A and B are shown apart, each in its own frame.
Chain A
Amino acid sequence: MVGGAHPILLIAVPLFFVFLIVFFSSFFKGIVKYLPIIAFGINLIVIYQLIPEVLGKGMVISTTAGFKPPLAIDIVVDRLSLILAAIGSVLGFLVAIYNVSYIDEEPQERYYALFTLLVTGIIWMVVTGDIFNLFVAFEVTSIAAFGLVGFHRDQGAVEAGFKYLVMGSIGGGMLLVGIIMLYAATGTLNMVDLAQKSVHLTFGQKFLAYSMIFIGLGIEGALFPLNAWLPDAHPAAPSSVSAILSGIMTTAAIYALYRLTNLMFDYKQIYTILLFFGLLTLIFGEVSAYFQQDIKRMLAYSTIGQTGLFFFAFALDSANGFQGSIMQIINHSVSKALLFLVTGGMILRIGSRKIEDFAGLGRKMKFSSFFLAIGAFSLMGLPPFFGFWSKLKIIFAALQNPNFFMVASVVIILLMSVVEGAYFFKLLQNMYFGKPAENLQISEAPAGILISFTILGLILIFISVYPTPIINLTHQVANDLMSKSYINIALRLGGL
């Protein structure tokens, strides 16, 4: 443990609360729904303590089990991890508040246990410094997600959950194969150690391992064509869970891909392949989203599209691209979570997921509609919202060295942005100016829901109006990635 901050608490505390939830559920059920709030509240405090140290030194490492890495598993928080862990904790905290009003279906204690486990797994995935530990976190997240997707236990939820489970299990298997290949070739599981030892491997060896890891994380991270589970699973889950799944879980898997690609597989060829994956994901996501009648399904496809966008930006393999990608991740996480939370409240009130049934809600649920509009605007990349800055950065980065392929890609991205605008404006128009079905008698969303998405919406407005700190931070992160300072700082701080 280094200094005053203890990154391991990020995982340990919520895991402890998972057990507490199960423990209390048998005799003191009333308290169960408030435990996740406490857990992620503590997480937020830990994150807050970590901020100065991580920003100052670039990284905080804490080791486990009294050994030194690479023998022991270590928890490594650098700037990129911190951003994602912070998003994860904030979302976890807000959605925990949301849950209080939202979840009234039994068995509640299992929901809360799985929910806490899901968010913990996600945070775990982004802070771990050990590749097998990454796999464990990945599986913890996946299993919690499988369970939560099927939580409603109706026809759609079960079907989506099963499909997700089959695909996710294959993905987990492939990821493990890739990890074992790396281990077989280098004899270590620590990421920093791996990065150093893997330089001796041939490209073929590396690529084989990489493709396995890519398939594993790509399934979870919603990359086309591995993402077929997503449009089923995200709508089928309770909206609170959809917000986590769309907002941060796919992003966490993408983070792991970023990290591993950047540390070990930094080849031009690989990045070129990734570019195509990003573009294809973008195209298929956005085009499919346009044709949806079900709002949550539409948002799920839009998640695929956004993933494609920031993955494309990452695959540009330049500091500007990385920066744009991370900015877009932040934008996507906040906005998409906001959209899912708001629509969750609306669906609760009107009892339908059909977009046409949202007609006239703009007047009945003013706050919800307002924040829905803001989230949609930010996703579309309209100024002055944060999505505008990130899209600007991505396009600028893509055209840094304009050649035919890049210009064509940018044209595709912009066309897809038009498609995105088309379906979001259709939604907003219907919501604000559509004729409500008969005399619709509905009120604003319940308090817990309202509070959580209002806070999230205010965060979005704040970073939209004052993006400078985030732009600066992501600029640093991009430089970290470019210079692979992950390795250097980790070595200096005794992460190895």
Chain B
Amino acid sequence: MGIEGIGARVARKEDKRFITGAGRYVDDMVVPGMKHAAFVRSPHAHAQIKKIDVKKAQAMPGVIGVLTGKELKADGIGNLICGWMIHSKDGSPMKMGAWSPLAVDKVRYVGDAIVIVVAETKGQARDAAEAVEITYKELKAVVDATKALQKGAPQVHAEAEDNLIFDWEIGDAKATDAAIKAAAHVTRMKIVNNRLVPNAMEPRAALGHYDKAEDHFTCWTTSQNPHVARLVMSAFYNVAPENKLRVIAPDVGGGFGSKIYIYPEEIVCLWASKKTGVPVKWVADRTESFLTDAHGRDHVSTVEMAFDKNNRITGFKVDTIANLGAYMSLFSSCVPTYLYATLLSGQYNIPTIHANVRTVYTNTAPVDAYRGAGRPEATYLLERTMETAARELGVSPAELRRTNFITTFPHQTPVIMNYDAGDYGASLDAATKASDYAGFAKRKTAAAKQGKLRGIGMSCYIEACGIAPSAAVGSLGAGVGLWESAEVRVNAVGTIEVLTGSHSHGQGHETTFAQLVNQRFGVPIDSVSIVHGDTDKVQMGMGTYGSRSGAVGMSAIAKALDKVEAKAKKIAAHLLEADEGDIVIENGEVKVAGTDKSLPWFQVALAAYTAHNLPAGMEPGLKETAFYDPANFTFPAGCYICEVEIDPETGTTEIVQFVAADDFGNIINPMIVEGQVHGGIAQGIGQALLEGAHYDASGQLLTASYMDYTMPRAGDLPSFKVSTSNTPCPSNPLGIKGCGEAGAIGSPPAVINAITDAIGIVDIAMPASPSTVWAAIRAAK
């Protein structure tokens, strides 16, 4: 390991501009002649639009255009789509209702966009938006997915009878039922996974610019995957053909999944720019973020886990209702299916699994992937059930898990996944040791003397990152491939640009990707630039989500580096009059192994570009492209242990210890990995203790600001004890697994297991706020 190579704790290159306020986000972009947009949004959760009168608004000061959905439709702009086809168990395709970028006849959730107003200033656009007169006929709303499925519930879309989008299953129902029937013990639970608001620090934004002379569009947008945005906006929304549309995502201030999807606003800003003849910028305010960013989670499940007399799991049966909100967001259908039910085997040998999933429309914000996406929901079911089963069976939760661990690899689960590597016992050992799991009883007694309820909870999670291979996901219904691309451009003086299809929204790619290059060629990371986020600069790529940029994105870079290395060695061999096989690259020197013959790296690069003396027939230049399609998912895993103390008088939970022992495969930058784990755990603790989106029965979001939606703060969190014990991933060239989501996946059940242990109850709703905990303590008495 060099000081900047793989495994080095290099400070993040990009942080200098972020910390000094020099980052460049969409809202920092200024285009000559640019004007500002405001959207008129539905104040009702469910209503017919009877009339839209824009006359008064058009006459307001500074107004350039007031545009409606009717005009948008007349110009042929398409509906938003969900890009992953799921079929119900009866073979019928999912029932997708139409989602017009601007609502025409009906609004389906509070925040649904109806009209765009373009004006000279943001304030004028808002003033005029208030002057748009819309006549509604209010309809009854439904916000709860279980209620939405009942006969006679308000119908969100005519296309989906009883609001049922699909009724899907995976696994073997008959075998699982038989296992439950024959079981020595069955643990049964009803488990709710609470709805969350993503709350990226940077709100969503879009700047649409139509260039009349070139008949060309440019869209600056807050996107985790600008190429996918361009593809979808071209292929489905008819904004412009791909060659006439450039999508740029500059610095992106957090996303957690919410910036994967294409939203109405970017489409409408592009269209409005052509319509009004001016560049149009829209930046969400925080209320719009709460109301319209795709939310996460919102599952209700029942589970049955069967055990034999030796406490081995013999079957696992799951029935889930997933709330997808008012419209099907871009990847909403795959989250509660292939990103969820395929993880229901967890770290355990389970001979048979069956999961049934019904997805449902309601009059709430669309729900899509949010940090972990399906995997937190699966882990929550499994790990809550395992802990409960251990209590029912009277065995140690750690030992029940160990009894059931998968210990040989590769391991084929009954739900598609083929685990390639792991050592779950090692993580469990590390976590139990770091948390002094064995000494808990003493600490509980000491806490009781102080009038506190102390509890401990564990969670052994597995996740699947780097969804792949493309052929497999295509066969499961995905509308896209899930490979990644890279281009490595060595300049004539040896500095390097890496063009990657991944796109950072806070992950530190500019540092870690440069470390990979440094490892290969010894070039200082300051001489390596990472280029991303611009469809005009970078070849087609798939973007950043699902913890894929290390395992998939960096593997593509590694492949391109292989090609560059091979060519550089050929050139060096020629110049040094040596055999190609004897050339090695070390610390910025290209050497003939075992001799003192060498060339500095930059001279090989220069030779490639002067082309004065290249091997016969070789093309000049040193630049290579690679596309990498992984052979399999990668499977990070780990064990989290949470210890809490509860003040029974107020219901306040203090996390007194949190231990994370993860297996992430090979690690490029341990500091960045730890940062990802810390952030993930903070979000997981947020879900367990603090965060919850709450709609009232009429469909108004009651938690639409930080006055009512509790974000985790530093004071809510302990100092985490994190460690890794790594088994390299055999499925990609770098042995990387992915660490972006693990914390958010593994931590909620550990926290809730600890709280239920402290109180001595089976279950408690998330977020386990002080009032919820207080009520649970009172009910348990």
State whether these chains interact. no
